[in-house]
Structure 1
Amino acid sequence: MKVTGEIMGISENGLGVLKYEDREFYVPFAYPGDVVSVKKAKRRFGRKIATDFGLIEESPLRQRPRCVHFGRCGGCLWQGLKYKEQLLLKAGAFERITGISAEIKGSPRIWSFRNVSNFIATTSGIGLKEYGNPLGVVGLTECPVFSKKTPKYLDALKGFLSETSLKPWDLRRKTGEVHYLQVKEGKFTGDVMVNLIAHVKPSGGVLEVFKGYFSFADSLYWSVKENERDDPRGDAQLVAGEPYIRERVEDVTYLIRPNSFFQTNSYALHILLKAVEGFTEGEKVLDLYAGVGTFGIYLAKRGFEVEGVEVNPFAVEVANKNAELNGAGARFMVGKAEETPIGEYDTVIVDPPRKGLNEAGELLVKSGVENVVYVSCNPRAFKLDYENHLKKTYRVEDTVLIDMFPHTPHVEAAVKLKKKW
């Protein structure tokens, strides 16, 4: 098989779309205006994904990628695309999916903007997953999207593994001892948290070696992982330094710890916070899916009376500490969003996981609250929540898109929903 043609569009998940006769091929790392040749493709989720392809003629939308691993690493599909074009494509994709035309605000920084990265340690390499290959790993030497210090973090991990003889994870056999290295940075504070995710508890000698190689970390954790799932999660235990690192966004200081969610782009976060503030009405605010209090504390510092609900008790603990640290009049409680009684609030803010609101959508409809601010990185989930639940009671009044994820097809949306009368 050999199919040659021009990429005429971009799919929802950021792949170039090549139409040939009555067939469509989806080509990674390809952009509108590229002329490509596809030699092999595999069917996945009902689509033909190109696995062997070549670039014949470059699109004028292209730019030179900064990372030497671009084209293999699964972290950045769009690094070869000019940033202005990335923004246009994201706004266009959001409108196609949701029917909403919205302004998009770019990230103030598009390099070294990520404040967290999860490096996988495997028998076939240490770095990030290879695009399209669940058993493939790209052995990184750099990551300009995460941090200039990436080589330092990776060298420390390699030295630690070599000296202790701990075995990295085997993705095929699902055996090994060290699985992930998670690094979090406070971009505005310089704080660094290192969290090793391993399938064994450390001995005293191993811990001393660990502390030695990562002595630069302000907060050092060892997480014991008791399952074979390929994710960077475990029971986190502090082994050295502070239990939290700090990030400061405008006038708010946030405490961050392992296993609690915080927006990954510190530099663009203030744009999202201002959008949410601009959509918030009244005085009393309920922050559902509150996490560590990212929205709630920012709003409380601006005079709103805030209560928050979050299912993760560790995140709630941090959120209340964040409120105390910032002198903010916000209170956070452990609970499920879909089981939360919504009382006399003027605005409810929801920032659900990627799957969306589900049952909590119907709860909002029945609550009678006049204003809802829906924050989402998944336009498909927002559309389903709106069409299946929220549309009964609410209309879309305004929307702002914020690019929290440069060089990827993802975009964050803040949508203001107003009760119909």
Structure 2
Amino acid sequence: MEGRIEGLAENGLGILKDGRRKIYVPFTAPGDRVRVTKLRRIKRILIAEEFELIEGSGIRIEPRCPYFGLCGGCLLQHVPYREQLSFKRSVLEKALDMDVSVIPSPKIFGHRNRVDVVISTKGVGFRRYGTWWDVVDIESCPVFGEASGRVLRSLRDFMADFNLPAYGIRENSGFLRYIVIREGKFTGELMVNLVTKEGSLPGEFPEYFPYATSIYWSVNRSESDVSYGDVERFWGAEFIRETLGDVTYLIHPNSFFQTNSYQAVNLLKTVASLAEGEMVLDLYSGVGTFGVYLAKRGFKVRGIEVNPFAVRMANLNSELNSVEAEFEVGEDRKVEDLNGYDTVIVDPPRAGLHPRLVKRLLKDKPENLIYVSCNPRTLSMNLRELRGAYRLEEAVGLDMFPHTPHVEVVVKLKG
């Protein structure tokens, strides 16, 4: 079948109409003319598996990354950045049924502070788009920056010198599984975390990364394809630091941190500008990213997070910055009292708020509710549930993830 791409779906794939059917074509732009020769079905969605670009649209540009169209990390590098922002704004406006501005990322290359690179029998790189078993071999990643190339060269030297077997995901064989690179964009500190199966790592490993601030060896003892594990040992600093505004955060291999440091500064400023009063409850508080920043601005903060390790990191960050913020382990569905707080912040996972937390918000009705979301669809669902007690006062989009269909949004609800 052949035709023109009519627009982009929320997942960033081009939409090709074939009669009443919609076919989703990756790596295409509105106005492209394509010929599709093979389809695959994922649930009820038809995705082009094999296709040819016959004629490019007027908006299409040359992607910077040589692996574009192979690696599944960036779906939109061929779309001008202003058009990416327009697309993300339309996604948010459809979900929220209101006008929403989107703050551009200060940088659209070299912005990511973390990349998880697969080490497999297929190569060292990222998953090939549409597969879980194949890998695109890469030399560096332009959305991370120059340090990625340096680390991967050192890794390949290490692998060659010691003839260590890469992991075969289908066979659950081999030793080396991932190398995770993290960088403090504002501090210049670099962390390298090698993730392996159980086995023996040559003692010379850290010598291949003399430029790294922190070097880790972690062991994933399961067959799950994840880029973390139990820390076996580390060399150098236990943490690297990142500075967002006037706040310094400690980063550990097993802790989550916003992946775009430059835009994270704008995210923190946005949340701080919407907070009111004196007492703040920070739910899903993670490593204290919002809570510590707000405490630095004079708010008294209590944070609740289900992950005990993240809570430990949050309290370390609070102590490091000498602020009045305390974090504790707790579950969203077990929060019992929201009274006494001037502002409640929620930053849930992609699945959205737990139904019991929604009921608690409706019952206690804290006056100011700030909802940070990376999933406009579940945000829209939660807003419908909260409509009886809250009105949507303000919404701000932030492009944390250039060249991808993902977008962050902060909304303020008033009780």
Give the C-alpha shift of residue 259 in structure 1.
1.4
1:31 to 18, 29, 32: 29
2:410 to 392, 407, 414: 414
Segments ≥4 residues shifted beyond 6 Å? none
Match of 1:211 in 2: 206
Q: What is the percentage of aligned positions where both structures have the same residue?
A: 48
CA distance in 1: counterparts of 2:223 and 2:210, whole angstroms? 29
Residues 382-401 of structure 1: pairs in structure 2 closer than 5 A: 382-387=379-384, 389-401=385-397
Number of corresponding residues: 413
Match of 1:343 in 2: 339
Are 2:264 and 1:269 equivalent residues in the alignment? yes
Residues 49-64 of structure 1: pairs in structure 2 closer than 5 A: 49-64=47-62
CA distance in 2: counterparts of 1:209 and 1:364, whole angstroms? 54
Give, as a single letter, the amino acid of the residue that structure 2 aligns with 1:380: R
Give the C-alpha shift of residue 290 in structure 1.
0.7
Give the C-alpha shift of residue 335 in structure 1.
1.3
CA distance in 2: counterparts of 1:126 and 1:18, whole angstroms? 33
Match of 1:8 in 2: 6
CA distance in 1: counterparts of 2:233 and 2:383, whole angstroms? 42
Q: Which runs of 5+ in 1 are unaligned?
A: none
CA distance in 2: counterparts of 1:16 and 1:149, whole angstroms? 33
Residues 82-97 of structure 1: pairs in structure 2 closer than 5 A: 82-97=80-95
Give, as a single letter, the amino acid of the residue that structure 2 aligns with 1:375: V
Are 2:227 and 1:232 equivalent residues in the alignment? yes
Are 2:317 and 1:319 equivalent residues in the alignment? no
CA distance in 2: counterparts of 1:338 and 1:259, whole angstroms? 24
Give the C-alpha shift of residue 98 in structure 1.
3.3
Q: Which runs of 5+ in 2 are unaligned?
A: none
1:136 to 116, 124, 134: 134
- CA-to-aligned-CA distance 1:90-140 (integer Å, 9 cap, x gap): 110122233232111100000000000000000011100111122111001
Give the C-alpha shift of residue 386 in structure 1.
2.0
Give the C-alpha shift of residue 320 in structure 1.
1.0
Partners of 2:175 and 2:199 within 8 A in 1: no
Partners of 1:358 and 1:385 within 8 A in 2: no
2:148 to 147, 150, 159: 150
CA distance in 1: counterparts of 2:256 and 2:331, whole angstroms? 16
CA distance in 2: counterparts of 1:124 and 1:133, whole angstroms? 12
Q: 1:237 to 1:287 in 2, by over 3 A?
A: farther
Partners of 2:195 and 2:217 within 8 A in 1: yes
Are 2:251 and 1:253 equivalent residues in the alignment? no
* Other structure's SS at 1:10 match: coil
Match of 1:363 in 2: 360
CA distance in 1: counterparts of 2:389 and 2:178, whole angstroms? 45
CA distance in 1: counterparts of 2:373 and 2:17, whole angstroms? 31
Match of 1:331 in 2: 326
Match of 2:125 in 1: 127
Using structure 1 for the length normalisation, give the TM-score. Answer: 0.95
Using structure 2 for the length normalisation, give the TM-score. Answer: 0.97
* Other structure's SS at 1:392 match: coil
Give the C-alpha shift of residue 306 in structure 1.
0.7
Q: CA RMSD in A?
A: 1.3
Give, as a single letter, the amino acid of the residue that structure 1 aligns with 2:178: Y
CA distance in 1: counterparts of 2:262 and 2:75, whole angstroms? 21
Give, as a single letter, the amino acid of the residue that structure 2 aligns with 1:361: V
Give the C-alpha shift of residue 201 in structure 1.
4.3
Match of 1:373 in 2: 370
